[in-house]
Structure 1
């Protein structure tokens, strides 16, 4: 298990500094990934191009992280600072909370145009015609789902596999965000990146769903998880969002517009009229649920470290 000291350094840096405003390594990685995609498509075809692009983008940097991590391991404090710094760059705790606040604040004031613009920064659905409930639904769902991707999955892989684990996860998750679309360009090429990301998120997503349930309305969350998660196409987003919506006792899900096409989506959480309607308050509540869940993980880390 990775040192709790590095765990707290990473979280502390994120709490104090937030997301780096300039020169974030993932921006450079995105540029590199774009170049690798072009080369892979030029030299290979079909699924093979996507597989080789995934390996070529992820493995050299993961191996470099493993080598550097191993080289610093005997220098305790330097290693702890290095590992904590890598974790800081791999998570998006404060960034997610700030994006959520940028939506909830104007929404509460009735400024739908500003809220639509803010929510378009973190969701892939069309936001131009969203009403107040639609904006709140999109934002609340995004906080719940991205809480797993941007925070808890990264923490999981850091704790179980150290610096190489969190680097492997964050790079793979970034490639899924770039290549994992089910459209003509990426349906075949992005298949490997999407499936590998699903594999890496399988256990962390369910731990996140369980933590959401423990941090909120537990019985409702567990019932929603059991009944609604199987109805979602994504094997990992389903448990996370169903349990999260139940934990908040808020009605989410339902149809939404993506890239000009209407998509019917299953419900999440209590049925409308039973649970609360999405609103600026539900966005704030989702952020509180995320923070409570992070406290649970922190306590668990301290307990496991104490036993070890």
Structure 2
């Protein structure tokens, strides 16, 4: 059932990309704001309660609907899984930026590529070279594939029905939304638990994604970069994914870039050549090979369970 649901969800998402921010991120953010208004007095315990009610309530609701539909008809349960996966995973919501940037670079239209990158990342891109644009695009694509495909996929497999997919997506949105307000003294430590909870939830998916990149890419370089470079990247453990992906591709990521007139000091990740438009295409292939690897593993697990049964 899991494999069929995943394949159907990926096919639907490829045929009809979901407007993620409008349909998923903004409603979940409004829910987080509602819970913030109801419970936040600046204390961590209140944030724990709000997180449990918000994220836990969504997980229980998704699981309850799945159980009810399973009792009626297994096909209805599959349809529910597909719908939830369609809402919680998929990378077509940002891949159009990646594709358009790739096309602009191939046509030597650097200003257009910078504009698209700025819209995608929400940060100024003036003064970036074509290599900078390609490098930042590859980084964003690797992170996006983890957060919108592999992280959801792993938790979907681990928990019954669509509970894992809802857990990962809701926890990610709550952590991101409340982290934006963490510097506000009035907000207090209300969002601290949400950030820590997502770090725990994402611990295994980060390593599973990095391992998949290593298996389908240059394994030796991916493992080397993972072990020696990942800790230098401070962003919520994403250095594991970026270092492994860079090593698997044989490209250099990270490194300082000029953003908004200021130099962003970033560690170097990966080995090999500077990023360019050809490496952007290679990154697409890496992600799709990793997806196929996951689907094959699920198929083998399903066959093993049938034989064992």
**TM-score over 0.5 (shorter chain):** yes
Give the root-mean-square deviation of aligned CA atoms. 2.3
Q: Confirm or deny that 1:281 pairs with 2:282.
A: no
Q: What is the match of residue 249 of structure 1? A: 250
CA-CA distance at 1:51 after TM superposition:
2.7
In 2, distance between residues paired with 1:189 and 1:134?
Answer: 37
8 Å contact from structure 1 (residues 47, 189) kept in 2: yes
In 1, distance between residues paired with 2:295 and 2:285?
Answer: 15
1:11-90 matched pairs, under 5 angstroms: 11-20=10-19, 24-41=23-40, 44-74=41-71, 75-90=73-88
Q: What is the match of residue 295 of structure 1? A: 292
Say which SS state the counterpart of residue 73 (structure 1) adopts.
helix
8 Å contact from structure 2 (residues 127, 258) kept in 1: no
Count of residues paired in the alignment: 301
Say which SS state the counterpart of residue 24 (structure 1) adopts.
helix
In 1, distance between residues paired with 2:153 and 2:13?
Answer: 13
Once structures 1 and 2 are overlaid, which stretch shifts more, 198-207 or 172-181?
Answer: 172-181
CA-CA distance at 1:206 after TM superposition:
0.6
Closer, same or farther in 2 for the Cα pair 1:289/1:129, shift >3 Å? same
Closer, same or farther in 2 for the Cα pair 1:154/1:22, shift >3 Å? closer
TM-score by length of 1: 0.89
**Deviations for 1:98-154, whole angstroms, at most 9, x for unmatched residues?**
221122111222222322222224335542332222211111111111111110010
Q: What is the match of residue 219 of structure 2? A: 218
1:143-222 matched pairs, under 5 angstroms: 143-161=141-159, 162-181=161-180, 184-185=183-184, 188-222=189-223
Q: Confirm or deny that 1:112 pairs with 2:115.
A: no
In 2, distance between residues paired with 1:142 and 1:46?
Answer: 34
Say which SS state the counterpart of residue 234 (structure 2) adopts.
coil
8 Å contact from structure 1 (residues 243, 269) kept in 2: yes
CA-CA distance at 1:268 after TM superposition:
0.5
In 1, distance between residues paired with 2:81 and 2:19?
Answer: 17
Where does the alignment leave 5 or more consecutive residues of structure 2 unmatched? Answer: none
Say which SS state the counterpart of residue 130 (structure 1) adopts.
coil
Closer, same or farther in 2 for the Cα pair 1:180/1:277, shift >3 Å? same
CA-CA distance at 1:20 after TM superposition:
4.0
Closer, same or farther in 2 for the Cα pair 1:39/1:247, shift >3 Å? same
